[in-house]
Structure 1
């Protein structure tokens, strides 16, 4: 019984392809004569473990785990050894750099000490000179501040003087206005003249003052001429002005009634003018309506006139019958009376023919009636013969035209197509 179980276990061990997550190739049975061990390949293999205890655990998984740990520890050991070597090399390189830098530092220190030893006297002299210049600069700064303060105070005084001068000029202008007109004309006094500021202020109080400009503006000021010598004269003028103003007030009160009456008259005049203007506007409107009606009437009359001119007068003046009658009248006038050299109108020619007819009727009344009838008969026969002759001549003329056309056609080339 035990042997079949062992065989099954051995078969399972041989046929399993994965052990502890590692894929292994399938194991084939090997004959006993061909089995080789590690000693056949490396006889000194077991000499490495001489004197070591043999572990009791024979698990293949534990063996693989141990092999992995050994490999990892060897790899870690190699990495640590490489890091130690790298760090030693860097330490050696930094030590070399430090030695070189320290050497250079000692050289620089020695050279600087020599420079200090050589230039110490010059440095002390320069420092002493610098202290003297600093003291001198401080003294000059104080003097400059004092000068600037004095300049600012002078500018403020000059500005105050300028404002005072402008006030006095305005007072002078006022007194000149209050002075008599004769005195103003005799002294050529000009009033209400705007004088520019003598001194212009600036935000920068330390700015340089233009002395030439100030002197030129002072020269442009008017001469100090005054009519008043004492304040009493001014009071006298003011009293006279008050009396004159009072007189003006009295006259103004007297004229106020006239003014009011004039204003009322103006209002009445305005109302009348408005009424007349309204009346004129109404009349103007009526006239415009009449003009518009007349224009419409004119248009209607023109339409009727042109219609009559187009329809009736045209027929009476330029129709075929009228033209034929005119030709008959003109022919009769020229045959019976005289040629129409003076271009008489049809009415004049008809009246002349009527007078001629009346004269002929009077002349004919004296003749015998039988003779007249015979003459009329002969005249009608003569007229008939002339008509017949005219018809024959017309027919003959048509035949001649036809014959001439045929002769002309005979001379023309044939129009038939000639076929080859």
Structure 2
């Protein structure tokens, strides 16, 4: 089916393309491929030439021909450009070679002109180089000799310092009385016999060195033989051993003391903790008491405002005080001493007890008659007091009326 479809499509394409009619050309001047190379291009008899009727192949051939022509033109332009560059470089090369020949000729001329002077300068430089080499060798030899002398002097100086240190050691090992007697001042650090300077041309003054050597103290020694020194060191060693034993004993005592000190610290720590705990409890009690104090103050002030104020300055209390004072003045005496109600009540109570004791000795009928008279007198006094209060009220009314009658009459203003 696919082959049939392809054939049908090819037929349709071929039918749609209009080709020019094929006509016979009788012109014999037309050149063909055979005319280019008849030996290479030749017809093969008995083999039919394949006819290509594909339009796409034709288009592809036309495209390839155009592309190859374009490529050929591009390559031709590139060849022309390269030829032009080669020509330019050839001109530059000729110019440079010409200048080089000129410079070489002038340099050869300069060498020919200045050859004798150059030879003289080279000879002079060779002579100077030889002199410099000889002086360098002499300088090296002088430096070697100077270094040798410096090393010898340094060795002598160090040997002297060592001997002085030995002398100082023996002097310090001698008894103190002998040291005080001779008073030898030895300090090896300050005895500098020769000071080395960097300038090798400075002349060394031998007189100064002799003066410095003469300033050294004379060699006085307490020890005459080495055995004496060994005996002294043996004694010192024994003394050191004794000191070590004493030190060990002291260390033992020190350890005991440190243990006791640690125990004491622990006990003190426990005591401090106990004291801190007590202080904390006391602070809590103080805080509780302060809080309790504040509460009691509030309660006290409430009682003071409510109860005590009522007990001291209320109307009932004042009436009781007046009644007690009145009774005290009528029964006992006047209150010149400004006694309190309690004192007056106690006095009245004592007076009442005395009266009751006295009354117990009287006749009951007499007492009853006296009591009756007393009640009657009290009733009369009460009635008189009521009458007096009524009269007082009437007097107040009359006084108000009198005052109102003496006041000027106020004029009424008309509302017009």
TM (norm. structure 1) is 0.51
1:75 is displaced (CA, Å) by 7.7
Match of 1:5 in 2: none
CA distance in 2, matches of 1:16, 1:175: 141
Distance 1:382 1:162, change over 3 A: farther
Distance 1:314 1:147, change over 3 A: same
Distance 1:353 1:187, change over 3 A: farther
Match of 2:318 in 1: 327
CA distance in 2, matches of 1:332, 1:66: 157
CA distance in 2, matches of 1:357, 1:99: 170
CA distance in 1, matches of 2:227, 2:156: 29
CA distance in 2, matches of 1:197, 1:37: 139
CA distance in 2, matches of 1:78, 1:251: 119
Conserved? CA contact 2:324–2:344, under 8 Å: yes
CA distance in 2, matches of 1:297, 1:351: 42
Between stretches 320-329 and 359-368, larger displacement belongs to 359-368
CA distance in 1, matches of 2:96, 2:25: 61
CA distance in 1, matches of 2:68, 2:238: 133
Name the SS of the counterpart of 2:221 in structure 1. coil
Conserved? CA contact 2:161–2:188, under 8 Å: no
- Structure 1 position 173 matched with structure 2 position 175: no
From 292, 296, 308, the counterpart of 1:318: 308
Distance 1:329 1:185, change over 3 A: farther
Q: Which ranges in structure 2 are unaligned for 5 or more consecutive residues?
A: 1-10, 36-41, 44-48, 203-207, 398-416
From 326, 335, 338, the counterpart of 1:338: 335
1:135 is displaced (CA, Å) by 1.1
1:348 is displaced (CA, Å) by 3.6
Distance 1:185 1:339, change over 3 A: farther
- Structure 1 position 105 matched with structure 2 position 105: no
Match of 1:224 in 2: 217
Conserved? CA contact 1:330–1:346, under 8 Å: yes
Conserved? CA contact 1:326–1:346, under 8 Å: no
Question: Where do 1:18-37 residues align within 5 Å?
Answer: 26=18
Question: Where do 1:310-389 residues align within 5 Å?
Answer: 310=299, 314=303, 318=308, 320-321=310-311, 323-324=313-314, 327-328=318-319, 330-332=321-323, 336=329, 337-338=334-335, 346-354=341-349, 369=370, 371-382=373-384
Question: Where do 1:193-212 residues align within 5 Å?
Answer: 195=189
Number of positions where the alignment pairs a residue of Structure 1 with one of Structure 2: 335
Distance 1:182 1:225, change over 3 A: farther
Distance 1:67 1:334, change over 3 A: closer
Match of 1:43 in 2: none
Distance 1:345 1:128, change over 3 A: farther
Match of 1:16 in 2: 15
